[in-house]
Chains A and B, each alone.
Chain A
Amino acid sequence: MNKQLTIEQFVGSLKSGMTIGIAGWGPRRKPMALVRAILRSDLKDLTIVAYGGPEVGMLCAAGKMKKVIFGFVSMDAIPLEPYFRKAREAGGLDILELDEGMLQWGLKAAAFGLPFLPTHVGLGTDVMTHGGFKTVQSPYADGEVLLAMPALKLDAALLHVHRADKLGNIQALGPDTYYDEWFARAADKTFVSTEEVVERMDRSYPEDARANIVERCFVHGVIAAPLGAHPTSMPPAYGWDMKHLKSYADSAREDGGWDRYLAETIGTDEAGYLDRVGGKDAVAALPLPIF
């Protein structure tokens, strides 16, 4: 059993029209090397499910999106994602806007093979009205009316972690792994990019087994991508590149800004990407963000 894939094999296993969950949270722990591979591909008409950061804006700008299912789209210190904003304000982008908690609840429903999970959340708001959600009534004495959050079933999920072995054992270090494990369990296929690939996790990092956020039966592809979260943060390894995100955000206000970013920064290959953004050493040294 060897789940290791090249980045080309990874992108070759996706199809246009798929529903793809992208793990991480805003500008934190995003599988950006995998996203860049999609940006360089012919894939289109994607439905993206995410706690969105720059990946959502980039996929919008590149015309890859059919629909975005999101709890928010933000880059923290740059609160509004400029290309997502542009796409929304131009109209024509299909969306489903969720509460943050509803999103993970929908992933959990999918993971458990349930059609929906009940919740209070969304009731009384326009998330309910615009999302077309239905309610269910508790069959017990309380008779409460609850929102039925439908399963968010994913064709594929993309994660970025610190370590993986060829069997698909992964370790995500750092203080918070958000809802990454639920993206993985909600998906038919989960592709995990990683800072480091080892032969066997038990032979390399057995002491960190508690960082195994999701079991290997939910991991289908492992892709080596050192510094592959750039420009988002990957604690404790490296922080986000706010200077880069700022210039990316500024490009949205320039004529041909996206085309330039795509050509000069995303480029045609992942191998050269780190050189184009200041080099491996500079990215590895990015300080962790302070909140």
Chain B
Amino acid sequence: MTTAPDFTLCEQLIVAASEAWRGNGELVATGIGPAPRLAAGLAKLTHTPELMMTDGEAWLVEDPVPLGPRGYDDRKAAGYLPFSRFFDAAVWSGKRHAMVTPSQIDRFGQTNISYLGGTYDQPKVQMLGARGFPGNSICHINSMFVPAHSKRVFVEDEVDMVSSVGYNPARRTPGVNFSRVDLRLIVTDLCVMDFGGKDNAVRVVMLHPGVTFEQVQEATGFALEAAAEIRTTPAPTAEQLAIIARLDPHGLRAGVIKDNPAGKRN
């Protein structure tokens, strides 16, 4: 494999994020947002072809659907997975691995997309509502993508409204089966983390070239662990970049990270 001459940080993150799905087998890979969606498509087209995915509407496709405007009928359906079957077939059955971008994440991997500040009865900022997060988090694998790593996202205390289950012992109601809670990767513009620390603590496993652990810690509201050997995030290959470009013909990935910075080689 050849290493590409030029690439953006976003493209480097897409490659790192695609690793979340490596070897997952036959389950629905859902990437919410441009970068996670490109990462899922890249995973299917490179290391894990058995992954399943939808066109974002109701059809299962074997060729990942490119982002942005296209002909409505360009996608060719191989199967059917409408919302009306989604909980039965993908979520509650555990046959899914979603990568999402929560507004807040805490030390336990609990996330929030519901509201910020204030109270349940009068939030300061109303967001989407919990959507499918409670079910996703207790039934299937989840990963996260954070385009701007900061203390606003990685909060000091618990998230304002716990929309998804994490590893918080205080919320582990006795008798409840939490065995399917399975948080994998958090890919940010600074690093890649997992939940491999003590008692599933968040742990830095990869730093992007030029980023230090201290810098990541400084941008995080809680104490991070460091993997025994922290690796450097690899540069994308020319082949990976070509696939990403094909899946994003309108260049929507340029808007994912502020100012669309260049990626770096070690």
Contact = CB atoms under 8 A, between A and B. Distances in A.
Contacts of A179: 83-84
Contacts of B83: 25, 176, 178-179
A203 B197 CA distance: 66
A90 B123 CA distance: 8
Contact of B133 (A92, A99, A143): A99
Contacts of B178: 123-124
Interface string A96-130: 01111110110000000000000111111111111
Given A97-B129, A144-B176, A177 B162 contact: no
B195 to A, nearest CB: 15
B128 A175 contact: no
A137 B175 CA distance: 8
A70 B132 CA distance: 11
Interface residues of A, number: 52
Interface in A63-77: 70-74
A139 interface: no
A235 B126 CA distance: 30
A14 interface: no
B91 interface: yes
A256 interface: no
A145 interface: yes
Contacts of B174: 145
A175 B161 contact: no
Given A121-B139, A123-B165, A143-B175, A89 B87 contact: no
B142 interface: no
Interface stretch (A240-248, A260-268, A283-291): A283-291
Given A70-B129, A121-B92, A127-B134, A177 B84 contact: yes
A89 B126 contact: yes
Nearest to A86: B126
Nearest to B126: A88
A99 B132 contact: yes
A135 B72 CA distance: 45
Given A80-B127, A125-B163, A287-B72, A100 B135 contact: yes
What interface size band does chain B fall in?
Answer: 35 or more
Interface stretch (B113-121, B148-156, B211-219, B254-262): B113-121
B7 to A, nearest CB: 27
Contacts of A72: 128-131
Contact of B123 (A88, A99, A125, A177): A88
Contacts of B65: 291
Contact of B128 (A74, A122, A124): A74
Given A71-B131, A127-B163, A176-B82, A145 B138 contact: no
Contacts of A70: 129
B128 A102 contact: no
Nearest to A144: B177
Interface string B149-186: 00000000000011111001001111111101100000
Given A101-B92, A175-B57, A287-B72, A124 B176 contact: yes
A126 B138 CA distance: 13
Interface centre among B114, B139, B172, B175 (most CB of A within 10 A): B175
A80 B128 contact: yes
Contacts of A291: 55-57, 65
B125 interface: yes
B126 A84 contact: yes
Interface centre among A52, A72, A125 (most CB of B within 10 A): A125
Given A101-B135, A125-B164, A127-B134, A176 B58 contact: yes
Contacts of A122: 134-135
B5 interface: no
B246 interface: no
A100 B57 CA distance: 16
Pairs A-B, 8 closest by C-beta atoms: A291-B56, A145-B175, A91-B122, A175-B58, A176-B82, A124-B165, A88-B126, A99-B134
Given A98-B130, A135-B176, 4 more contacts: A102-B134, A104-B87, A121-B139, A124-B165
20 contacts: A72-B131, A89-B125, A89-B126, A97-B114, A98-B130, A99-B135, A101-B132, A120-B135, A120-B139, A120-B177, A120-B180, A122-B135, A124-B138, A125-B130, A127-B130, A146-B176, A175-B58, A175-B82, A290-B68, A291-B57
